[in-house]
Amino acid sequence: MNYPNGKKYNPTASIKTPVKKINYSNRGMTLEEDINATNQYYLECGKAVIHKKPTPVQIVQVDYPKRSAAVIKEAYFKQASTTDYNGVYRGKYIDFEAKETKSLQSFPLSNFHEHQIKHMHLVAEQKGICFVLIRFSSTDEIFLLQAEQLFIFWDRMKNGGRKSITKKELLACSHTIILGFQPRIDYIKVIDRLYHFD
């Protein structure tokens, strides 16, 4: 028996191709993309209404090379942003920040700004649900750290202590979230546990 190109079929000849190990853990998504997909899932299921806050920007200069294509040449932030996400779940206000680090052993507190911490303090004082989602991008580990715990590490740094949170500390005082399919980062499951919503 011959192939259409005229070559003879040889059943003993095997073509060796290198087998690549495929890592499906992250599939190239950033923390923000994963959270946005999760929030969309919550919205479509009628579970929660949580959105990414738009960053207020003042546009100064715009070029119009074509009638249909405007190009922003210069813009400034109108004000310091607060946190990344807010919304409502079971009648409770939710407000949280999302941060990633490439570090393997600790999360640098320099990823936060003073005004963000002040904002989280105000939300916590009003009994809102306030937390931080932290992803170690190299290992795809995700932690939910409640704002009250974050304040302890922030105050430690302000008082001359360590400028980061070690992974060991995170494991001890935060809640691990395992990546899923739908929802991708099921942080509401942790909220249910913490606030006895289940």
* pTM for this entry: 0.76
Of 18 and 58, more confident: 58
Query: Is 32 assigned a ligand-binding role in the annotation?
Result: no
The answer to whether 44 is annotated as binding is no
Say whether pLDDT at 185 is over 50. yes
pLDDT of residue 82: 84
* Cβ burial, residue 16 (10 Å; 0-12/13-18/19+): exposed
- What is the set of domains in the chain, with CATH numbers? 31-194 (3.40.1350.10)
| Alpha carbon distance 198, 186 (integer Å) | 14
Confidence grade of residue 60 (pLDDT, cut at 50, 70, 90): confident
Residue 100 among known ligand-binding residues = no
Q: Is 116 annotated as a binding residue?
A: yes
Is 164 in contact with 106 (CB distance < 8 Å)?
yes
Give the C-alpha separation, 31 to 93, whole Å: 22
Amino acid of residue 40 = Q
Res 27: pLDDT: 42
pLDDT tens digit string along 127-175?
999 999 999 999 999 999 999 999 999 999 999 999 999 999 999 999 9
Q: Which of 86, 84, 83 is nearest to 49 (CA)?
A: 86
Q: For position 197, what pLDDT does the model report? A: 80
